[in-house]
Structure 1
């Protein structure tokens, strides 16, 4: 499995589902609880994505650098750092 396939399966599909659910709720006019009503759901979803990427990228890079896990060089696309 390539890394892009992994990203598609484990990040792309769940993110697409969350985007669809958010859009569906917004279109149906569903309101958030009163204490959360001031937050735009699209910005909240974007914030979750940013936190996930920022939090996991250094950890993933560390695991690859220390060879806890590795990628087959034939399956790596792009620039390899380190």
Structure 2
């Protein structure tokens, strides 16, 4: 399940929302992403941001599209960019 388009949420809130959607505690996602629980807390409070690798892991663990996590936008199905 993905969240609706909402560009008003900041990155920190989207990270938290994605985690809560899959019913994970901060400690659980920290283990899966490979960081300390305090690091997850800092990301979700907007004090720091994950690296690109950690960001991709978060998306994978939560099942949320990278584009939504990054920008709050989800493309309707069938409107993905072409691949060559």
With the shorter chain as reference, the TM-score category is under 0.3
Q: Structure 1-normalised TM-score?
A: 0.27
Higher helix share: 1
